[in-house]
């Protein structure tokens, strides 16, 4: 993936000082010095860096509205940003853009136990929502591995999931309403505390829209009552196919675990060294299955899962006998990304999604690609919903390794599509996968999506250069013909 971003508008760059001065009239929180902007030059993708004209940290929806209204009138590009933990480059600034950070929108506004929902600002972290309601026995279900740091606004941007999304859904299944600001400054509300809404499902369109349609300033999320009993089981296998078959059979038998995760041997060793989780080290694949419900229900399901595991040649199994032991099972998996950072200077984390039955095939293909590119890889999967996270290890100080790592990742995603999957399960397209969109969509598909964006953002000022493919038509003709900087398809970004 080469970093090709929209060519900066020279008029905007020439007027940078004037734009900064105008923004200071709207907001007291404008960062324009190079050292101030350095903290915002990248996101969790980290291998690419770029600084905007200015970073603005508004504190109210009205302030966001005034900033966007100004940018709309003056044709200034806007990049929205949450906590900056995203892994697809979705919050990467443009040189001629204003970056709008929602970091100061960090308050929980209302906790409504009767209606089982929380109204929050977008800068509140995922885990903080659970922290605010757990004293009454409630929690917020989607739980990305970065839940301690990632913001709920960012979760909506990419439709984030987590280890417990199999049973309780990803972000879109747990959001009831939002307040958002359109690029022209209009403030609108979608949904609310009610469970149903009339008209088009605009809330569904906004969830996963990656900052291309509007800036979200308030969110209402669903909270759930904690189950009576929760237990987990560790299951080890000697082959990828046995593990994949076990996952498929658990689901096909009618069992819906609260979570079901897979780690391969390199990650088992790395996480166990880091988190001291007590994982078996003599297995090739480790499956964590968590069941919740009433005590009798959970005990019955644990036994059924163990029977299925035995049928699929499991070489190790252990069921948790206490909540402390269950949490220890998860300790390593939750620390996977951090643990890998200890043994590799850099890594790229992919997030394609595949049919569950193809887990073994995909793991085998990743192993083959690892040999082809000469780069180590460790794998963890949200196995129950087929969302895979291969972690490709490399050294970014070696330009050749970075190039190989990106090609390796692209080949993994292409294979995901080939076996009936999709490019992204929860990280978003951003810049990382935008030029792979043609693997999934033809030109008509892309044009329809661009038409939807245009309905919200006719000038393409919101987060340009993200999601949609660069210099490609999604058809057999191949590349777009560019003549004097213009293309026959004016809605496609020009670079």
Q: Bridge partners of 30?
A: 56
**Whole-number pLDDT of residue 3:** 63
**Whole-number pLDDT of residue 198:** 78
**Whole-number pLDDT of residue 488:** 37
Q: What is the pLDDT of residues 32-60, one digit of tens each?
A: 999 999 999 999 877 789 999 999 999 99
Going by C-beta distance under 8 Å and a sequence separation of 6 or more, which residues neighbour residue 43? Answer: 81, 84, 85, 86, 87, 89, 90, 91, 92
425 pLDDT higher than 50: yes
Going by C-beta distance under 8 Å and a sequence separation of 6 or more, which residues neighbour residue 484? Answer: none
- 3-state class of 64 per DSSP? helix
Mean pLDDT of 86-95: 94
What CATH number does domain 229-432 carry, 3.40.462.10, 3.40.50.720, 3.90.930.12, 3.40.50.300?
3.40.462.10
Q: What is the pLDDT of residues 401-417, one digit of tens each?
A: 999 999 999 999 999 99
pLDDT above 90 as % of the chain: 83
Q: Where in the chain is the domain with CATH 3.30.465.10?
A: 108-225
Phi-psi region of 211 (alpha: psi -120 to 50; beta: other; left: phi over 0): left
- Contact (CB, 8 A) for 171 and 387: no
477 pLDDT higher than 70: no
Distance CA 282, CA 124 (A): 41
**Whole-number pLDDT of residue 2:** 53
239 pLDDT higher than 80: yes
Q: Where in the chain is the domain with CATH 3.40.462.10?
A: 229-432
Terminal-residue alpha carbon distance, the chain: 15
Residue 31 is classified by DSSP as E
Instruction: Indicate whether this model's pTM tops 0.85.
Output: yes
- Contact (CB, 8 A) for 236 and 315: yes
418 pLDDT higher than 80: yes
Element (H, E) at 245: helix 240-252
492 pLDDT higher than 70: no
493 pLDDT higher than 50: no
Higher pLDDT, 171 or 491: 171
Backbone angles phi, psi at 98, to 5 degrees: -105, 125
Q: Where in the chain is the domain with CATH 3.30.43.10?
A: 10-101
Q: What is the pLDDT of residues 246-272, one digit of tens each?
A: 999 999 999 999 999 999 999 999 999
Provide the pLDDT confidence category of residue 483 given band limits of 50, 70 and 90. very low
476 pLDDT higher than 50: no
Q: What is the pLDDT of residues 328-384, one digit of tens each?
A: 999 999 899 889 988 999 999 999 999 988 888 899 999 999 999 999 999 998 988
Q: What is the pLDDT of residues 290-339, one digit of tens each?
A: 999 999 999 999 999 999 999 999 999 999 999 999 999 999 998 998 89
Q: List C-alpha distances in Å: 357 to 173, 333, 352, 354.
A: 24, 22, 15, 8
**Whole-number pLDDT of residue 472:** 54
**Whole-number pLDDT of residue 392:** 96
Q: What is the pLDDT of residues 199-217, one digit of tens each?
A: 899 999 999 999 999 999 9
**Whole-number pLDDT of residue 360:** 85
Q: Which tokens is 394 given?
A: 């490399």
478 pLDDT higher than 80: no
Pairing of strands 486-487, 482-483: antiparallel
CA torsion 405-411-412-417 (nearest 10°) is 150
Q: Which fold has domain 10-101?
A: 3.30.43
Residue 79 is classified by DSSP as E
Question: What is the pLDDT of the chain when averaged over all its residues?
Answer: 92
Q: What angle do CA 284, 323, 338 make, to 5 degrees?
A: 50
What CATH number does domain 108-225 carry, 3.30.465.10, 2.60.40.1840, 3.40.50.300, 3.40.50.11710?
3.30.465.10
481 pLDDT higher than 70: no
Q: Bridge partners of 178?
A: 190, 219
Provide the pLDDT confidence category of residue 471 given band limits of 50, 70 and 90. low
490 pLDDT higher than 50: no
**Whole-number pLDDT of residue 482:** 29
């Amino acid at each position: 993936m080469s970093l090709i971003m929209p060519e900066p508008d020279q008029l905007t760059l020439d007027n940078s000082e004037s734009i900064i001065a105008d923004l200071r009239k709207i907001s007291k929180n404008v960062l324009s010095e190079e050292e101030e902007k350095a903290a915002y030059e990248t996101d969790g993708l980290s291998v690419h860096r770029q600084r905007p004209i200015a970073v603005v940290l508004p504190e109210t929806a009205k302030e966001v509205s005034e900033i966007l209204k100004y940018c709309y009138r003056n044709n200034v590009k806007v990049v929205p940003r949450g906590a900056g933990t995203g892994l697809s480059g979705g919050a990467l600034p443009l040189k001629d853009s204003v970056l709008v950070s929602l970091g100061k929108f960090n308050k929980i506004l209302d906790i409504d136990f009767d209606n089982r929902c929380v109204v929050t600002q977008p800068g509140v972290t995922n885990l903080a929502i659970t922290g605010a309601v757990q004293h009454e026995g409630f929690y917020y279900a989607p739980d990305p591995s970065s839940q301690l740091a990632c913001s709920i606004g960012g979760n909506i941007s990419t439709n984030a999931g987590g280890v417990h999304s199999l049973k309780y859904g990803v972000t879109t299944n747990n959001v009831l309403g939002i307040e958002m600001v359109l690029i022209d400054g209009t403030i609108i509300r979608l949904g609310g505390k009610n469970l149903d809404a009339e008209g088009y499902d605009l809330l569904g369109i906004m969830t996963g829209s990656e900052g291309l349609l509007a800036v979200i300033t308030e969110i209402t999320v669903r909270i759930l009552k904690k189950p009576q009993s929760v237990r987990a089981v560790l299951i080890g296998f000697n082959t990828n196919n046995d593990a994949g078959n076990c996952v498929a059979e658990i689901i096909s038998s009618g069992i819906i675990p609260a979570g079901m995760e897979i780690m391969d041997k390199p990650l088992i060793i790395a996480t166990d060294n880091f988190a001291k989780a007590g994982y078996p080290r003599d297995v090739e694949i480790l499956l964590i299955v968590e069941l919740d419900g009433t005590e009798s229900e959970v005990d019955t399901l644990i036994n059924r899962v163990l029977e299925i595991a035995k049928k699929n040649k499991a070489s190790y199994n252990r069921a948790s006998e206490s909540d402390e032991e269950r949490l220890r099972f998860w300790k390593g998996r939750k620390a996977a990304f951090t643990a890998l950072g200890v043994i590799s200077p850099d890594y790229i984390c992919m997030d394609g999604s595949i049919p569950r039955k193809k887990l073994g095939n995909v793991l085998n293909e990743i192993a083959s690609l690892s040999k082809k590119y000469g780069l180590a890889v460790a794998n963890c999967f949200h196995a129950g919903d087929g969302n895979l996270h291969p972690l490709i290890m490399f050294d970014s100080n070696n330009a050749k390794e970075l190039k190989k790592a990106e090609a390796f990742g692209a080949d993994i995603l292409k294979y995901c599509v080939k076996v009936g999957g999709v490019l992204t399960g929860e990280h978003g397209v951003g810049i990382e996968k935008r030029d792979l969109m043609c693997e999934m969509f033809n030109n008509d598909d892309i044009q329809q999506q661009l038409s939807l964006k245009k309905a919200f953002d006719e000038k393409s000022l919101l987060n340009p250069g993200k999601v949609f493919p660069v210099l490609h038509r999604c058809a057999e003709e191949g590349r777009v013909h560019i003549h004097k900087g213009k293309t026959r398809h004016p809605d496609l970004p020009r670079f």
